[in-house]
Structure 1
């Protein structure tokens, strides 16, 4: 009897030591790698070590009376640690196979349930020496049944999860075997508890459990090694994939586009086929990012790549070169197929994008060239398609085919881009001012801000000498921001020097006026230079309005609430001018010079101008006439009720130095 107790003490104490060491190893591993499942298994092995320690103490104090403090304490620790061991083992299996975060509330509830069951099993019938069978059923049979069902359920879960690494199969076999052991013991204890063979079985199960627990420790270590190897292999494969594919969209990246296109060129040369290389650029994609957010923009790029990859034309190459620039390559037999492909690309992009409960409508610019007629290698083909798409963007054309001679224009624009940006940085772009005369008071009312380029080599350049390049390079937004800053700076400087402020009117392009940060930028400038908003006037054309009238109206209202005046420039040259005039909450109408040139000699122009003035006044808007060049024009405009004029008869655009003469007059 004493030998048997000593053997039990030796077995349980050895297992306590082993699982304590394993728990310390898992703690070190968890601190290094931070895997959640390792943390659960660390708690599980720690609870198992405590459970084995309680069994050791139970064997040492086996002569204690039933219900004594030592007996109840050991029973409590043993039962609670047993259920906690099982709980954290199951949580670890779930976490290891799904990589999902388990809610803290779930863990807390599980711990409370485990402690409750363990406490009830230890205390119920724990103080009565006559309740031996009831205590056994609660402490041994119930635990065996719970563990058996739990392990079998875990085995079924592992089988259905299709774990990739080998340790998953080992854990499946272990869970099924241990589940069968516990379920069998639970049913056997119910029907054969008083039989001698069951007592001998219980003795042998101590050694079986020793093997089970030892195997569990090895399985945990094997799982961790297999899982980390699987993670490493996945990371290596992903790195290889990302080395060849764009991380955001999944299509080929720039390097692989060149490689794949080169291979397709070789195949085409051998078979005598022809290729068409398309570059497509999504229009106003920055506006999408600014309006809907970067996440929506990324989803749209991914959807664009998917549409191109799965298009009916079965492209040879699809790739993303940068930003919103995609490459699309097909082989063709005749010219009609190329044109069909262009229409197909536009149709793919024009389909509404449904992302984040938003419906986004987009268009694209397309530039394309041919192999072998335009170039015979991948780099040159992409470069020439890029020149074609540059022409498409610059001239707002949907599709452009590469033609010889585009290189020289491209080089010119590249040089101009560097020069214009340098001019902005070095403040070579200077402001000129054209006075506006109030016809009621016959005094200076305001001035329109105009830009000149004081080129270091070419001298003073008029807008017509560089505005086309700015438009082609899409640099108007940068120019607008520069002019706004310089204008506000000038208003502040004049007040400091002459104690006078003159309202200055600035032309704003569509892109800048509709930018999401436009209002914020204006507020910052007013605060930076301490300028009252009434001295800043923004001029927009009707082309700005028709792009998105609702957005424009919202922006105008915000500006007016700040105290900034907004006027329509070149009125009468856009679409449905009178209809827009009725809807827009603007302050001033600027009649285009084309109506003023012959107003004194052409009855039709006179009637049109008079109607514009009467209609504008009827809607509560002031009217300014541009391009006044003669005394007759001036007098006629005064007679028909025009509020203000500007033009060469009043003054041509003049430098700041000349304009300050107006400010010196009292």
Structure 2
């Protein structure tokens, strides 16, 4: 009995085989990136889709085969053939999910998988329950088994090569699917060529009410396309999710790297910052311990940088710092560290064999900084003050090395600048004193150790006192009464100047309220603002709260801002000063003549007073240049309709000269020293 084939269904069986092959290769790719429960989920889903695809191809091909008798299929045996296909597919996917697949295991896998596919095929044939049974040609039967094993080996090898994502992966998988699909179809039709149906045979499954061909066709087509389609769609979504997750992970990794970079490096110069510097010093110490070497820590501060910043602006100063950092970095070895702490403070860390090595580097740095910098056609000449501390001679920890190098740098500053100094134990006492003052200053507010003295302000014509300037003092429990020059620089460097400045403003307003209540309602109070306090975003609210708390007319409060502070960021300063004057507060430009004010900006400043710096008043009688400067400031004040205040008046001759120039207000020891509130009230009345 001879069968015939429907060409359309034969082509359809080939397409299903190709689709099943593509699904198998895609599943192999998913398994290569899946982990945990996801790995088992993809393996189960892939085994069902791949196994059902191969099984469907077999039965579609069987539907394409027509015998001149009714044909049916035993349901149980058909399901057994499906199980064999799924089992072979599961085993194949398990093999390709391994990290490595050596040739012996690949061959064994090909045999087992090919045997499973052959079992699926011949179980499917047995589901027809032909009577008498089907005869198989030994040659073609053996050939079908070999084709199944060969197709399985090829499928495993291709799946291993294409399981990783890469360029043109979809085209490669499609081409490989064509090869694998042809191999699977070839195995089926080779097996069919081995089948011999004796004349007069009947299909037992058709006689006994087995699964009819048309119902099998519907079941196979719907189930196969549904499962394979769902699997491919799920794979596509998973791939996109993995792709997006990968891109997100890359973005997060880059962002994290940028955050780490920003956290450990100075944003202006890209040099290591204080945090990274600490780690570098500790690493250098550990390395020096192992090799019995030394470490030099150099604290470097630029001399005169503040004047450059005030004269040319912060942007110009930033460019100068970048150029300076580049120049110094070229002098160092790759293993050395140059860090920026902030402002114009830099630190160099290097391994040295002896003190001479540190001397050579220090001299190179001072010489490099001393060379002129040309920026925007402006030629600038700076110098550097260095302090050097050595491990293990001067200190054994990062903190001590930094403190001692800082103390040595401070000593260089005091000794004339532009050079370097090695740390000596004698400097430790000075550094320890500053550290102790800092620690005591942190507790001074809580212990009520800060006090205010008040220096009277007099009209130039010799009239009675019209107000006072509040001046801060520290009644130290052991060191006695300390002037501001002793502790204000420490407060500014540590940031304590902000709470101290708020306290000064509050106490000065409280004292003025007390004097007003005592009948001196015309008196005013002047309070100095530190540079850090002037840039504080809470300054306006602090001033407003102090005035409201003590029920003061804002016109009786004068805030003094140094010329250099006001000129640091002119536009921001103008905005702040305009806000304060809108409240009614008066503004005085302190230390006028020592900075680099532009007359254009000065005209825009909402100031009511110019205070002549005491440096011009000191030699007023003997220095014609100082006299000319003071005369010019008084004339400038009059032209701008500002009151001019001269401070530091210590002699009768100075007072007379300033009176003749037309100076509006005078301050100084000749007229009245700073004193406590009770003494001030006695002298004023």
TM-score, normalized by length of structure 1?
A: 0.52
The 2-side partners of 1:247 and 1:577 are apart by: 37
Residue 260 in 1 paired to residue 283 in 2?
A: yes
Residue 490 (1) aligns with residue 511 (2): yes
Where does the alignment leave 5 or more consecutive residues of structure 1 unmatched? 1-28, 49-165, 186-198, 293-298, 353-361
Following superposition of structure 1 onto structure 2, how do residues 364-379 of structure 1 map, counting pairs within 5 Å? 367-370=387-390, 374=394
Contact kept, 8 Å, 1:597 with 1:627, in 2: the verdict is yes
- Answer whether contact 1:167 1:219 (CA < 8 A) is retained: no
Distance in structure 1 (CA, Å) of the matches to 2:422 and 2:610 = 43
Q: 2:530 aligns with which of 502, 506, 509?
A: 509
Kindly indicate whether the alpha-carbon contact (under 8 Å) linking 2:469 and 2:525 is maintained by their aligned counterparts in 1.
Answer: yes
| Aligned match of 1:532 | 553
Query: For the Cα contact (< 8 Å) 2:456–2:667, is it kept in 1?
Result: yes
State which of 292, 306, 313 in structure 1 corresponds to 2:332: 313
1:384 aligns with 2:404: yes
Q: Match of 2:457? A: 436
Which residue is equivalent to 1:566?
A: 587
2:92 maps to none
Shift of 1:476: 4.5
SS in 2 for 1:443: coil
Check whether the contact 1:505–1:537 (CA below 8 A) recurs between aligned residues: yes
Equivalent pair of 1:448/1:505 in contact (CA under 8 Å): yes
Which range is displaced more, 641-650 or 595-604?
A: 595-604
Shift of 1:431: 1.4
Aligned to 1:402: 422
Query: Does the 8 Å contact 1:265/1:377 carry over to 2?
Result: no
C-alpha offsets along residues 214-266 of structure 1, whole Å, 9 cap, x if unaligned?
A: 68879999999999999999999999999999666896846753553135425
Per the alignment, residue 646 of structure 2 pairs with 625
Greater alpha carbon shift after TM alignment, 307-316 vs 502-511: 307-316
Question: What is the alpha-carbon distance in structure 2 between the residues aligned to residue 262 and residue 522 of structure 1?
Answer: 49
Say which is worse superposed, 419-428 or 364-373, in terms of deviation: 364-373
- Relative CO higher for 1 or 2, CA cutoff 8 Å, sep ≥ 6? 2
Q: 1:482 to 1:344 in 2, by over 3 A?
A: farther
Residue 364 of structure 2 corresponds to which residue in structure 1?
Answer: 340
Aligned partners of 2:407 and 2:423 also within 8 Å: no
* CA distance in structure 2 between the aligned counterparts of 1:468 and 1:630, rounded to whole angstroms: 29
Q: Aligned in 2, Cα 1:234/1:509: closer, same or farther, shift over 3 Å?
A: closer
Q: Could you tell me how far 1:406 is from its partner in structure 2?
A: 2.5
Whether 2:407 is the aligned partner of 1:413: answer no
Give CA deviations for 1:488-545 in whole Å, capped at 9, x if unaligned: 3333444456583521112233343345554454344434544332111122344445
1:554-633 correspondence to structure 2 within 5 Å: 555-572=576-593, 574=594, 583=603, 585=605, 586-593=607-614, 609-610=630-631, 612-628=633-649
CA distance in 2, matches of 1:328, 1:621: 52
CA distance 1:440–1:379, shift in 2 (3 Å) = closer
**Distance in 1 of aligned mates of 2:257 and 2:357:** 36
Using the TM superposition, give the Cα deviation of residue 415 of structure 1 relative to its aligned residue in structure 2, in angstroms.
0.5
Q: C-alpha deviations, 1:142-196, integer Å up to 9, x for none?
A: xxxxxxxxxxxxxxxxxxxxxxxx97549997896469869999xxxxxxxxxxx
Q: 1: CA distance between counterparts of 2:622 and 2:400?
A: 58
CA positional deviation for 1:384: 3.2
- After superposition, the Cα gap between the structure-2 partners of 1:326 and 1:213, relative to the gap in structure 1 and judged at 3 Å, is farther
- Offset, 1:408: 1.7
* CA 544–365 in structure 1, closer or farther in 2 if over 3 Å, else same: farther
Structure 1 residue 626: Cα displacement: 3.1
Out of 281, 297, 315, the position equivalent to 1:277 is 297
Asked if residue 646 in structure 1 is aligned to residue 670 in structure 2, the reply is no
CA–CA separation in structure 2 for the residues paired with 1:253 and 1:482: 36
CA shift in 2, pair 1:308/1:378, >3 Å: farther
Q: Secondary structure at the match of 1:444?
A: coil
Tell me the residue number matched to 2:467.
446
Deviation at 1:413, TM superposition (A): 0.7
> 1:411 Cα shift?
1.0
Cα distance in 2 between the residues matched to 1:241 and 1:612? 52
Question: 1:637: how far off?
Answer: 4.4
Establish whether residue 522 from structure 1 lines up as the match of residue 543 from structure 2. yes
Q: Distance in 1 between matches of 2:258 and 2:626?
A: 68
Shift of 1:446: 1.8
RMSD: 6.8
Inter-partner Cα distance in structure 2 for 1:567 and 1:433: 17
Contact kept? 1:395, 1:472, Cα under 8 Å: no
Instruction: Give, in whole Å, the separation in 2 of the partners of 1:415 and 1:451.
Output: 19
**CA deviation string 1:10-36 (max 9, x = no partner):** xxxxxxxxxxxxxxxxxxx9xx99xxx
What is the match of residue 116 of structure 1?
Answer: none
Q: Is the 8 A contact 2:616 2:626 kept in 1?
A: yes
Post-superposition shift, 1:400? Answer: 5.0
SS of the residue 2:465 aligns to? strand
Question: Normalized against structure 2, the TM-score is what?
Answer: 0.51
Superposition deviation, residue 314 in structure 1: 3.2
Q: Once the two structures are superposed, what CA deviation does each residue of 1:466-503 show, in whole Å capped at 9, x if it has no partner?
A: 45655676755554333223223333444456583521
**Shift in Å, 1:320:** 7.1
Give the aligned partner of residue 656 of structure 1.
Answer: 677
* Structure 2 residue 350 is the aligned partner of structure 1 residue 329: yes
Q: Over alpha carbons, which structure has the higher Rg?
A: 2
Q: Does the 8 Å contact 1:365/1:397 carry over to 2?
A: yes
SS of residue paired to 1:437: strand
> Aligned partners of 2:596 and 2:258: how far apart in 1?
54
Q: State the distance in 2 between where 1:637 and 1:312 align.
A: 54
Kept in 1, the 8 Å contact 2:559–2:588? The answer is yes
Could you report, residue by residue, the CA deviation over 1:186-209 in whole angstroms, capped at 9, with x for unpaired residues?
xxxxxxxxxxxxx99996796487
How far did residue 438 of structure 1 move?
2.5
Counterpart contact for 1:168–1:223, Cα < 8 Å:
no
Unaligned segments of structure 2, at least 5 residues = 1-33, 50-161, 182-213, 376-381
Per-residue deviation, 1:398: 7.9
1:416 deviation in Å?
Answer: 0.3
Q: 1:268 to 1:549 in 2, by over 3 A?
A: farther
Contact 1:253 1:319 in 2 (8 A): no
User: Are 2:336 and 2:351, in contact at CA under 8 Å, matched by a contact in 1?
Assistant: yes
